[in-house]
Structure 1
Amino acid sequence: MIRIDYLNHASVLIEIENIKLLTDPWYFGTCFQNGWGLRYDNNKAIEIASNATHLWISHFHSDHFHILTLKKILEINPDIVVIGNYSYNFQLNNVMESLGFKKIIPFAERKEYYLNKNIKIIRYPTTGIDNMLLIQSVYGNILNYNDCNLPSLSRKLLSKRIKSVDIILTNFNHAGKLLVYPKKDDAEIKTKLKKNFKNNFLFFDVKYIFPFASYHYYKAPESFDQNSSMLRSDELLDLDTRILDVKIGDSLVYSKKDDLIAINKAEILENELKVLFRETKYQYEDIEEASKAYCKTLRSNYWIFTKLLPNFYIEIVDLKVIVNLDAQRGILQTDKKHNIVPHIKVQSESIYHWFSTAYGTDNFIVGAHFEIANKNKIPLKWQIIFGILIDNKLSVKSIFKMLFSYKGIQFLINRREEIIGIILERKVNADYHD
């Protein structure tokens, strides 16, 4: 028998025999620089998580790697065994040790690891930081496929390797700023989300589909209106008879032998959605200095290629200025008489955090801390690409180093299906983001 308790967002407790594997705990607070909140509070999540024997974090995004929740888990369950992803660009096992976890097992890419004699796991990496987890046992196979944005050819190739799956867990909502201007109709966005959700499991030989990892909401005032275009899980049920009607707080029991699945329902009320109020106003000089340091990082990672970046105009609303982000010199104020239309609008606090904090671009984009103000999104997209590749340690400089390292070459080989799909389909992002 397999039991799955749905604790919150991307966090489940999977129980098989004497193994209780906890994933991606985020049970309270916010993430992405306060850009996201939880749609639901499950008061039983911490109590259930206290019984976990093992913990696996899929990737470093703060809705999965939520430090405050992890510290609480450590407090109530100090003997939990961490299955720490070990990759060329990120070593989660080292970070978990720094948080105070004592029992840590490095978990390499595409290598089998036995939790006991009857249960094994294998991790398939995607992009720079995301991962899917395959759990195999005589009781059934489970594929945790959250935030894995892959071209269709890549999914097809991986499905042949993974073969049959009893239960696939996969996300169904947008997770970051929608790069659209003007705003699209909610119904149109939801239609794209449904298509993307179906594509997640299209090529896999799967019995049941478990929708999850999509119960956040946007707090940033610039993107609060995106909440109305997010799907509820019950809006998915008509897409495929294999989709389970499961929500946060529910638990299910699956018997492969009898091919039976039972869901125990819980009643959890939705939280009030609250807009983020930013209290701090940064001075222009502080942002200017932070931008120079950020642009220095850009140049060190992309060398001469930074000269190819187009003009990118940003209106800092609370400072009442429009600046151009110049990769050679940082932000430069524009002359008001030129009547320049900015590409995005931001608050001083948001742009300062973008330039000055670790993984700043990732937090800025996924946290959706800006408003799109121009139909021309090309300059914005180039800034996103350059910045996120640095955050994921996949910049030109990083790739160049990989090519002269055995571990770096192995990193690329381990993503071979994804690389083939990107090259042949020329597709790197989900359809719903544009």
Structure 2
Amino acid sequence: MKNQLLQNIEDKTFSVGILGLGYVGLPLAKAFFEAGFTVMGFDVDAKKVELLNKGENYLKHLGEDYIAEMAKSERFTPFADFEQLDKPDALIACVPTPLGKHLDPDLSFVESTTDAIAKKLRPGQLITLESTTYPGTTRDIMLPKLEVTGLKCGKDFYLAYSPEREDPGRKSHNTQTIPKLVGGIDADSCEIAVELYKYAISEIIPVSSAEVAESAKLLENIYRAVNIAMVNEMKVVLDRMDIDIWEVVDAAATKPFGYQAFYPGPGLGGHCIPIDPFYLTWKAREVGLATRFIELAGEVNHSMPDYVVGKTVWGLNQAGKSIKDAKVLVLGLAYKPDVDDVRESPSFELIERLAKLGANVAYNDPHVPETHEMRKYNLGMKSVSLDDIDWYDVVVVSTNHAAYDWNNIAAKAQLIIDSRGAMRGVCGHDDKIIKA
């Protein structure tokens, strides 16, 4: 069977199904489509499927015409249910892996998706998980659910893990050019997955097991989380000394070796960095170990919204105003510059905490015209105009979008709390800019 599947992949008669058509799944679907494969997309969000059928892209940072060619082709078909999961030869799961209320892994999407696959599983299919998770998920969670069908991995079907490495808004790399790790439950599963991915991705790196690939993904994101925590902590310390952390980081970055620049902010955002470290801390506790260093980094990063709010309260007090009934404008709702991705954005926490203190809070974001219901928040807000920016008692810079005219903002705003270093190039308004 393996040899036949490898031949089908080479001949492009091997079809690919993508489960979850979000920030990871849709670019991956396009990568396989452009490689010449027939692609079927599956997502429980019927609105996404409706837009795809119209040729409309809901991931704005990728461009309006991103899926235009796919939408017109017979080689791409999206579905709003899982009834056709037996049709594709490969099923690649790109589903969320959030945290529970107590910072424990929430694998409900992985488990429900695996259950749906098991109902339709047939001999000859390759199953791959791309969602970030703790080591052992593919083998301990997915494999038993698939083998309950009576089919055996490595003989009747194949199972592998290949972590996504998407970074929305990044221009230097895309799905096709980011090297891809692949780890199989067994050697044949790895070989088949590597053979498939190599047609869509420029560089494939096979590893010895699914657990190695799962762990590597966690290490990548924990590395960022820990270093961001370090520079966030330095920000607080250096601010007390009246030293500019952003200038310090840029100065250190002139060293050509042994250093990589990380920048502070109002807190962590995105679908990986705020969440993934806790997947490892939970798994570590299961085997009787503590991850003190990682958990400390989490504490520092999660304290940043409070730090920014504290700076806002202090700044208003210095201006003879109270946070209660103050008119506050938060600039930027997305978690990073120049994208419309608001997942885990610290801006939501800033808005919530300022409102609880009695402030009247509004936001502006050129990429996010209005909020939508999320797991933790449902603000029901719309982006306001910057024309009346002088009406607000204070402007809190949460996301430094390139679309913002910082000089104009500095000239018109009464008071600015800058958590991103956005005002560093602005001259003549130091008296109203507070670094946070």
Q: Under a length normalisation based on structure 2, what TM-score does the superposition of the two structures give?
A: 0.30
**Of Structure 1 and Structure 2, which has the larger fraction of its residues in strand?**
1
Q: Which has the higher helix share?
A: 2
User: Quick one: higher RCO (CA 8 Å, sep 6+), 1 or 2?
Assistant: 1
Question: What is the TM-score when the length of structure 1 is the normalising length?
Answer: 0.30
Larger Rg, first or second structure (1 or 2): 2
